[in-house]
């Protein structure tokens, strides 16, 4: 029978803590408590696989080790370093956050939830991740992996407030960093989206679902993302092609927009997509209908 609340019992948290050391993923950003480094990793990890992010995070931090370094370099330089990670507007938001840190926080990230949420591009998950993984605060973080674990253990879909409250309640005092990393590892390695390895789950005895028949309670639950839309032929692909061209050439003339975007016979679509790049700060109009680097 499903629990009456989504809270994990303390015994489950202790079992998870015993499981974690032998199953801890070795990720480069886990070796730092630098708030900027943690923020960069979390922004990169949004909709991008861990294996792709690991080497790029190290490269990015080598170029922009502080918010001040990113702010001074300018948005075009930050976007250049983002090549290959996709969703380039994240790079623009990260640069804007760096500027706010320099202008309003003496070059440092805020260490409170409200201050972090006020940074461009920083949402509830990312703000709490910085608090837990940089400042080691006892707050729960709810990404798609954690949201899936919480919904399955509860045996039902969770509303956002429920999932966050359950995540917060599960954190043992003084263990914000370790507990949240263990929850992320559990969701990534055991309680998978497609395959749930319930036999190897350290908290199975407290799970209401246990891989049972019927609808997966994680489907549509708070924090659990759905599959991304098809990339090939999408506006996202066209945007990416235009941004790549701006990285290499610095300019795309109006007469080349459609060809570069990959739709040589659909100029109207290319113009519309080009306008979204300007709106997102990824490009500037060149005054003749084309684009130039910001």
Question: Nearest-CA neighbor of 128 among 13, 196, 35, 237?
Answer: 35
pLDDT at residue 182, rounded to an integer? 98
- 42 labelled catalytic: yes
| Regions in the chain scoring below 50 on pLDDT | 1-4
pLDDT of residue 227: 59
CATH code, 34-133: 1.10.340.30
Are 32 and 42 a contacting pair, CB within 8 Å?
no
> Looking at residue 33, what is its pLDDT?
98
Distant-in-sequence, close-in-space partners of 97: CB < 8 Å, separation ≥ 6: 39, 67, 119, 120, 121, 122
Tokens of 41: 């990793």
Q: What percent of the chain has pLDDT over 70?
A: 96
pTM: 0.87
d(CA 44, CA 60): 10
Q: How far apart are CA 234 and CA 223, in angstroms?
A: 25
pLDDT of residue 89: 93
pLDDT at 212: 83
Q: What is the pLDDT of residue 4?
A: 44
How many angstroms separate the Cα of 16 from the Cα of each of 72, 86, 240?
43, 33, 40
CA-closest candidate to residue 235, choices 192, 202, 280: 280
């Amino acid at each position: 029978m499903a629990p009456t609340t989504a809270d994990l019992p303390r015994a489950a948290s202790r079992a998870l803590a015993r499981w974690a050391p032998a199953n801890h993923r070795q990720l480069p950003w886990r070796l730092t408590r630098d708030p900027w480094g943690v923020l960069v990793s979390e922004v990169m990890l949004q909709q991008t696989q861990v294996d792709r992010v690991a080497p790029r995070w190290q490269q990015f931090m080598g170029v922009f080790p502080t918010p001040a370094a990113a702010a001074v370099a300018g948005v075009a330089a930050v976007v250049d370093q983002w090549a290959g990670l996709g969703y380039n507007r994240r790079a623009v938001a990260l640069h804007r956050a760096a500027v706010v840190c320099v202008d309003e926080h003496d070059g440092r990230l805020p260490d409170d939830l409200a201050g972090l949420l006020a940074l461009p591009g920083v949402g509830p998950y990312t703000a709490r991740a910085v608090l837990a993984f940089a400042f080691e605060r006892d707050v729960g973080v709810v990404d798609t992996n954690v949201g899936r674990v919480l919904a399955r253990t509860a045996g039902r879909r969770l509303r956002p407030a429920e999932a966050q409250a359950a995540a917060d309640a599960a954190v043992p005092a003084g263990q914000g960093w370790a507990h949240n990393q263990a929850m992320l590892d559990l969701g990534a390695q055991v309680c998978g989206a497609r395959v749930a390895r319930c036999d190897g789950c350290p908290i199975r005895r407290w799970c209401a679902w246990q891989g049972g028949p019927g609808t997966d309670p994680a489907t549509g639950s708070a924090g659990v993302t759905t599959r991304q839309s098809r990339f090939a032929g999408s506006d996202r692909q066209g945007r990416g092609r235009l941004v790549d061209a701006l990285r290499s050439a610095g300019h795309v003339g109006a007469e080349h927009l459609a060809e570069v975007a990959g739709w040589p016979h659909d100029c109207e679509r290319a113009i519309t997509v080009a306008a979204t790049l300007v709106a997102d700060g990824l490009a500037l109009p060149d005054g003749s209908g084309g684009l130039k680097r910001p």
